[in-house]
Structure 1
């Protein structure tokens, strides 16, 4: 049985749709408070368009998988005609949703111009008031962004401070260990000096013993030679 790639592509498509919906909501929010030439609005629009392009590519892949099933035969994939029709309807639904999103991005936000008919009592605000209101909204949005950045910086500084405190504690522990090692080395050095002194004294006593032994050995040899000489003299006299 051939492998049906429909579900794998559909899962990627659903993820792209959710992402596009979130980006569209963000784009509309920025569009309501920012100027038409705002950098934030342009960035949001471009990001949304790129996501929609990816979504369209995934949709084409999904449609190709359905075409492959139709060309190969639904039974080869363990499917029936009703399942194939269901997939076709799903592709059509996603395509309409994609076109709707593209339409919302392409159509600019309507500009509300001051109009007043002779029989209308609706007040018309001057352009300067609307401009001031939009500037206030944009300033509020900018302040929120700055506050968010400040909070993120505070969190980063807190994390760095905690890391520095940990490093300081580790450095203190290392300093204590180094001090203990230095004390052990000092004790070892004193022990080596004491052992060296004792060894020097033992060597002196050993040399003295050797000299005494040599002197006693020489005296014994002289006595032995005298005795041998006397024996020889007695032997000559007696003969």
Structure 2
């Protein structure tokens, strides 16, 4: 029986989802008390975004495991169709929760106010740090570094998913070959069993005929011996 990878991945998804819900509650609490643009609020928003990215990557692994079972067949992994349906519903539910959190972050993102000047100037990007504030510049650089790390992590996860997909294809091909070999073996066993049954029938018939023939010869030999004894008695 093939190994079902669902439960191991589901534990990671459940842990990530619990962490995201905790960060979401913390973000909502900070947003209700802090002013827009505060460092604490920005930190909470970035932490929630990073956690959602990791959760979405884990969810992709979980969905891939569900697709593997769907392609290979639930019976091959020893599970029922109803359980497979529950797994698909769980994946869809977690994805809806992720989308809801992302929508909440997007709706609470403050819009950059337009800047006006008496002379024409190039607009400053909304995410550009204030060069006169070293702390804001450092925070901006830290955010960019976190985003680069997240991009690298997503690239690694994408490569892992591709590898898992190739391995799943190989496993499916191997399972198909094994099923064909088992079918041929079963056919051969049935054919051999039929031949063995015929041989046993012929053997029992031969033994029965041999026993009957030996009994007849014994009667003839005993009759001849008895006649010889009678002749010997008469002649003597």
TM-score (norm 1): 0.45
TM-score (norm 2): 0.45
